[in-house]
């Protein structure tokens, strides 16, 4: 039994030594990959606000505008799944200077356009149908997954280059990757506040989509020789 116990201790010790040796003979680096993308889709975060003395009338006016907007979007071929009511509320508003009380109804609607080219036309139609608040405009891409893969590949190559640069001064080389992890991919969509234009200005460009930055970071441990 004593011999068996001694043998187990020796095997365990050898395993730990081998593990520590492996850990010592690696180099760990972080790589980053970026891809700049021109967006082709847009989400309009809009809101309908109505105000008056009678809460029932205020709510009714708000609902009518919302219905007109839904009908307009449908007539323009916007799918129902691309139109979402984010929230609705009705609150009392008090002017503490005049002591006057009014009621305010708000309905927030998110509208996704699959073709960015339709933005100007759709926006003008929304304003004509009673939309009076734009909370923001968010741009995105229909090929986001494809671009994320490209950014991920760039991150891995960046990590490999960093590792090679680090060990070159030591007259050593890197081998196979023994550990790799992704720190989560980040997409930074372009955000713009929309400027409301009158019908006479409908032919003017009111947004500048710019570019989106897709960024991926990875950690990689390479064998060191």
Express each pLDDT in 74-114 by its tens digit.
999 999 999 999 999 999 999 999 989 999 999 999 999 99
For 114-135, what is the mean pLDDT? 93
b/e code 175-194 from CB counts within 10 Å (16+ = b): eebeeeeeeebebebbebeb
Strand order in the sheet with 212-224: 26-37, 212-224, 174-188
Query: Residue 19 has what pLDDT?
Result: 47
* Residues making up the chain, counted from first to last: 225
Query: Residue 84 has what pLDDT?
Result: 96
Express each pLDDT in 171-215 by its tens digit.
999 999 999 999 866 666 554 444 444 434 445 555 666 788 999
For 130-152, what is the mean pLDDT? 92
For 24-37, what is the mean pLDDT? 92
Q: Is 131's pLDDT higher than 70?
A: yes
Q: Is 132's pLDDT higher than 80?
A: yes
How does DSSP classify residue 172? -
- Burial class from Cβ neighbours inside 10 Å (0-12, 13-18, 19+) for residue 66 reads buried
The pTM for the full model equals 0.65
Positive or negative torsion for Cα 111, 116, 117, 123: positive
Find how far residue 40's CA is from the centre of its chain. 14
**Pick the residue with more confidence: 140 or 102?**
102
Residue that the structure tokens 């950014």 belong to: 151
Query: Residue 205 has what pLDDT?
Result: 59
Residue that the structure tokens 């009111």 belong to: 206
CB 29 within 8 A of CB 166: yes
CB 136 within 8 A of CB 123: no
Q: Which residues contact 165 (CB under 8 A, 6 or more apart)?
A: none
Confidence of residue 4 (pLDDT cuts 50, 70, 90): very low
Query: Residue 9 has what pLDDT?
Result: 44
User: Residue 187: enclosing H or E segment and its boundaries?
Assistant: strand 174-188
Q: Which of 27, 28, 23, 126 is nearest to 76 (CA)?
A: 126
Q: Is 158's pLDDT higher than 60?
A: yes
Query: Residue 197 has what pLDDT?
Result: 44
For 121-134, what is the mean pLDDT? 94
The percentage of residues in the chain with a pLDDT greater than 90, rounded to a whole number, is 66
């Amino acid at each position: 039994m004593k011999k068996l116990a001694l043998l187990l201790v020796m095997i365990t010790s050898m395993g730990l030594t081998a593990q520590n040796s492996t850990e010592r003979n690696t180099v760990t680096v972080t790589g980053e990959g970026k891809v700049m993308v021109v967006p082709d889709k847009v989400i309009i975060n809009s809101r309908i606000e109505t105000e008056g003395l009678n809460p029932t009338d205020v709510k009714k006016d708000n609902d009518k505008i919302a219905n007109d907007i839904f009908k307009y979007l449908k007539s323009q071929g916007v799918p129902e799944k691309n139109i979402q009511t984010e929230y609705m509320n009705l609150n009392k508003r008090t002017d503490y200077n005049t002591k006057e009380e009014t009621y305010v109804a708000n309905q927030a609607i998110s509208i996704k356009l699959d073709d960015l080219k339709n933005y100007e036309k759709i926006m003008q139609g929304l304003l004509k149908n009673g939309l009076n608040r734009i909370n923001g405009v968010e741009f995105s891409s229909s090929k986001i997954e494809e671009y994320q893969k490209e950014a991920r590949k760039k991150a891995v190559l960046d990590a490999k280059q960093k590792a090679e640069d680090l060990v070159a001064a030591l007259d050593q080389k890197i081998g196979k990757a023994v550990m790799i992890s992704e720190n989560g991919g980040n997409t930074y969509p372009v955000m713009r506040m929309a400027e409301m234009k009158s019908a006479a200005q409908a032919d003017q460009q009111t947004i500048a989509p710019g570019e989106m930055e897709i960024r991926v970071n990875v950690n990689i441990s390479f064998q060191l020789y």
